[in-house]
Structure 1
Amino acid sequence: MTVDQIQEPAIRVQGLEKSYKELRVLRGVDLDVARGGVFALLGSNGAGKTTVVKILSTLLRADAGTARVNGFDVAEQAADVRESISLTGQFAAVDEILTGRENLVLVARLRHLEHPGKIADDLLARFSLTEAGTRRVSTYSGGMRRRLDIAMSLIGDPPVIFLDEPTTGLDPQARIEVWQAVRELADRGTTVLLTTQYLDEAEHLADRIAILHQGRIIVNGTLAELKRLLPPAKVEYVEKQPTLEDVFLALVGDDGKNGHDRNVGTNA
């Protein structure tokens, strides 16, 4: 990588447009994503988040505008872009017949990497899947499958990872497992572009947040900067009640094993 590539953002999008017949999905998207950390792209269903990711990952060609990933033009240098990224979609792309370790070894071999077994073992340990590594993936929970999916996407150490709504359909406990994995990626210096429609997910994970609405980025900043767009909050005394998430985690425990059995609304 050249000095210029290192200095420029991990992702730079300028004037991106995309239409499907009469439907204009992207109407001039401008976006810079700095290297390292988590950048969350928010938007409701149909806002164009997945379309942006597909263009950036060279799966779709834009009608207009330019996009660069890791210093490479997505239209003119698609092969270099693909070597720089990994894409994890909304559904885990794992082989349920194989074990977790076999899935990782398979991907390492397909990438022609040396010592695929060691790569697999290191990733299993990194994502707390060592004990489950010899089990078939068909026995995994949703959170475990998603963590394995993310682990597979890291084989080859890509500097940029796209996570397209990675916690869709997961239960609260599995979502927290995935959040921990994503945060660890960013802490190790990987650039993560996360698309989500869960506001709490972006609030918990993202260093910067952009909102895509009607084909355009309408706001882009840190959580603190976005909060300053609203009038100052009035200070009032309100008795804080536990959230449903607080109740859920108190009952089942963070790992699903440390909770306490309780009967609610039943006669002993």
Structure 2
Amino acid sequence: MPSSVMPTSNSGDGRPSPTAVSTVGLRKSYGDRTVLDGIDLRIPAGSVFALLGPNGAGKTTVVKILSTLITADGGQAQVAGHDVAADPQSVRAAIGVTGQFSAVDGLITGEENMLLMADLHHLSKSEGRRVTAELLEQFDLTDAAGKPAQSYSGGMKRRLDIAMTLVGNPRIIFLDEPTTGLDPRSRHNMWQIIRELVADGVTVFLTTQYLEEADELADRIAVLNDGRIAAEGTAEELKRQIPGGHVRLRFTDPSAYRSAAAELGEVTRDDEALALQIPSDGSQRALRAVLDRLDSAAIEADELTVHTPDLDDVFFALTGGTGVPDQPKETVR
């Protein structure tokens, strides 16, 4: 395949869709320590892909390889249809990268940081000023544009960081833990920015230590552990792989409660609360089966709730519960 041809993957409706990032058998070692041991990825264009994993799992190594900052020891990788090893210049022209640590120069103003990036992308002065003004407005930084960046809050610096990444109009953006250290409000503002980028057709490759962030944003999620992809799928697909899901039925009529318990068979009873817990994978089919059995017996529950494992449960099950940082947990599900 020529490096200028964008590969395709199958879309949900069966039609081929462009693949923004793909890897086959990607490998990387440092001395005798294997960090990546054969990574296969295929990320459709215009989507958010989240890579999760314990500290030191190799998430940043994947980003560095795909953004041409380091070379792989083996395997193949394509970004925007270009071979990462054979045509790194074309890859760099198509991507933007925001690393774990801010690239903002605190000694100059936000506007000067932006104009510096415009110069690095060889934009004319007029074009650079136009793009700078548009991005500063888009990221709500116009009022602070003339202030030294060192005076910005953490959230403002992160917004400026991403705005600088967008100066070259990349179609694929790598965000390596973009919200680490931000307060909840700033984190939610960053999520909205990411959604807007994807709505404009940008592909976002996200690494994060905040599991609810992946749950909230990602179209697909992969869990990296021991150098391999332990699991990949949508958030709901991953949750259904983990045991512990159940349907909870609550009753106000004791006789209906007893009848339901007898009808459903394998249930966990809570006689004090008049509640039954039925194992379930949370799927529509499993829920319909429970409701059909109740309907056939003319039993009506007063309250029904479906409980599925969350991404925390998925993470612990797939990684053995190691390497999870202390983090504030927000209820977003």
Give the superposition deviation at 1:6: 6.3
The residue that corresponds to 1:264 in the other structure is none
Give the superposition deviation at 1:236: 5.7
1:96 aligns with 2:106: yes
Trace 1:76-155 onto structure 2 (pairs within 5 A): 76-114=86-124, 115-155=127-167
Q: Matches of 1:244 and 1:87 in 2, distance apart?
A: 27
Matched residue SS, 1:155: helix
1:50 aligns with 2:60: yes
1:180 aligns with 2:192: yes
Instruction: Compute the TM-score of the two structures, normalised by the length of structure 2.
Output: 0.69
Comparing 223-232 with 28-37, greater Cα deviation is found at 223-232
1:213 aligns with 2:225: yes
Comparing 94-103 with 14-23, greater Cα deviation is found at 94-103
The residue that corresponds to 2:44 in the other structure is 34
Residues 216-260 of structure 1 show CA distances to partners (whole Å, capped at 9, x for unaligned) of 11111111211221343232669xxxx9758xxxxxxxxxxxxxx
The residue that corresponds to 2:179 in the other structure is 167
Alignment root-mean-square deviation, CA: 2.0
1:67 aligns with 2:77: yes
The residue that corresponds to 1:21 in the other structure is 31
Matched residue SS, 2:160: helix
The residue that corresponds to 1:234 in the other structure is 247
Q: 1:166 corresponds to which letter in structure 2?
A: P
Give the superposition deviation at 1:165: 0.7
Q: 2:117 corresponds to which letter in structure 1?
A: V
Matched residue SS, 1:174: helix
Give the superposition deviation at 1:4: 3.8
Q: CA, structure 1 residues 245+200, in 2 after alignment: closer, same or farther (shift >3 Å)? A: closer
Q: CA, structure 1 residues 147+244, in 2 after alignment: closer, same or farther (shift >3 Å)? A: same
Q: Matches of 1:14 and 1:3 in 2, distance apart?
A: 18
Q: Number of aligned pairs?
A: 242
Residues 139-166 of structure 1 show CA distances to partners (whole Å, capped at 9, x for unaligned) of 1100000000000000111111100111
Quick one: percent identity of the two aligned structures?
Answer: 53
1:201 aligns with 2:213: yes
Matched residue SS, 2:6: helix
Q: 1:74 corresponds to which letter in structure 2?
A: V
Residues 72-129 of structure 1 show CA distances to partners (whole Å, capped at 9, x for unaligned) of 1110011111111111101111111211111111110221113211111100111111
Residues 23-56 of structure 1 show CA distances to partners (whole Å, capped at 9, x for unaligned) of 0111100000110121000001011101111110
Q: 2:169 corresponds to which letter in structure 1?
A: D
Q: Matches of 2:204 and 2:329 in 1, distance apart?
A: 29
Q: Matches of 1:51 and 1:121 in 2, distance apart?
A: 34
Give the superposition deviation at 1:191: 0.5
The residue that corresponds to 1:250 in the other structure is none
Q: Which runs of 4+ in 1 moved over 6 A?
A: none
Matched residue SS, 2:167: coil
The residue that corresponds to 1:266 in the other structure is none
**Contact 2:177 / 2:209 at 8 angstroms: preserved in 1?**
yes
Q: 1:118 corresponds to which letter in structure 2?
A: R
Instruction: Compute the TM-score of the two structures, normalised by the length of structure 1.
Output: 0.85
Q: Matches of 2:7 and 2:86 in 1, distance apart?
A: 19
Q: CA, structure 1 residues 152+65, in 2 after alignment: closer, same or farther (shift >3 Å)? A: same
Q: CA, structure 1 residues 44+117, in 2 after alignment: closer, same or farther (shift >3 Å)? A: same
**Contact 2:115 / 2:129 at 8 angstroms: preserved in 1?**
yes
Matched residue SS, 1:29: strand
